[in-house]
Homo-oligomer: A and B are copies of this chain.
Amino acid sequence: MSLASPSSSVPAGTPAPIGRLGFVGLGAMGLPMAQHLLAHPGGLRVWNRDPAKADSLIAAGATLAASPSDTAEPGGVVFSMVADDAALRAVSTGPAGLVGRLGAGGIHVSCSTVSPDTLRDLARQHAEHGEHLLACPVFGRPDAAAAKKLWVLMAGPAEACARVEPLLSLIGQGAQALGQDHAAAAALKLAGNFMILAAVESIGEAMLMAEQHGVARTDFATFFGRTLFACPIYQNYGMQVAQRRYQPAGFRLRLGLKDMNLVSQAAAQVQVPMPLVDLLRQGLTGAMAKGRGEFDWTGLELGIAEAAGQHPTIPTQT
């Protein structure tokens, strides 16, 4: 299924067949994504900094690569899903990196959440070798990845999009084509994470105010989840905030801050003031100072309550 909108469609044609796939980065997101790609008939060659994470994949038929570059075959397709800009550069450049090892027509499908700048820069480096970079960041937590329910963005050269799109349908609910500019995919992904956390901020402020006027926190979450905001982001995060279940983390607060810093930089680059991003960054910075980097990013809410003189009880981790 394609989400492609009229203004950013993928051209028709008969893309070249794809042989063995590569996958670099088997973290909480990467591993379930790679598992789905085992369905691709050509085989899968994987690499992770800690190779033990690859065990289940190897048991299921994947092979272990000695380096990121070792996952590539000439003209082939390699996915990467790593933690941040630095990690993406690390697996892309240098003697062990993907750049220059994919070869003419090869495609690096980058699924990480990184800055527009990093993607543009790596795309340029790949292009010097006749290789393509596709920017394919994804929305969804690990459980969505496992359930094949990720939403995938896709930006890059049209022929590479056409070739890779069927693979993307193996890992998600469909790909949103965004044209040729890699920055667009990076920006849309960052925009989404920002909007989610902005929703958390609004829920946190409003719920506390209403609670002080006599509305039970779970009633608040239930009501809005059934009515005005009947979508999972508000339903799930609303109840999580109501109950203050911030551990274990679905998405770690320190990564949330990393992402909001990327949003801030992406906005600065195009000279767009985003005061709401700054508000979120302030809250996350304070949460880091309070030792909450490993909390779920919705733990941002605790700072709202503390600024109002509250000392919220956090449920024991289960």
Instruction: Give residues in A with beta carbon < 8 Å to B.
Output: 3, 5, 7-8, 116, 139, 151, 173, 176, 178-179, 181, 183-184, 186-188, 190-192, 194-196, 198-199, 201-203, 205-210, 212-216, 218-220, 222-224, 226-231, 233-234, 261, 263, 266-268, 270-279, 281-283, 285-286, 288-291, 303-304, 306-310
Contact = CB atoms under 8 A, between A and B. Distances in A.
Contacts of A226: 3
29 contacts: A3-B223, A3-B227, A5-B216, A7-B216, A7-B219, A176-B227, A178-B215, A181-B214, A184-B214, A191-B209, A192-B228, A195-B199, A195-B202, A195-B224, A212-B270, A212-B272, A228-B231, A230-B231, A271-B285, A271-B289, A272-B285, A273-B304, A274-B282, A275-B278, A275-B282, A278-B278, A278-B279, A286-B307, A286-B309
- Number of copies of this chain in the oligomer? 4
Contacts of A266: 209, 213
A81 to B, nearest CB: 19
A214 B272 CA distance: 14
Nearest to A189: B210
A306 B308 contact: no
Contacts of A5: 216, 218-219, 222-223
B210 A184 contact: yes
Contact of A233 (B222, B223, B229, B291): B229
B195 A270 contact: no
A213 to B, nearest CB: 4
A209 B269 CA distance: 9
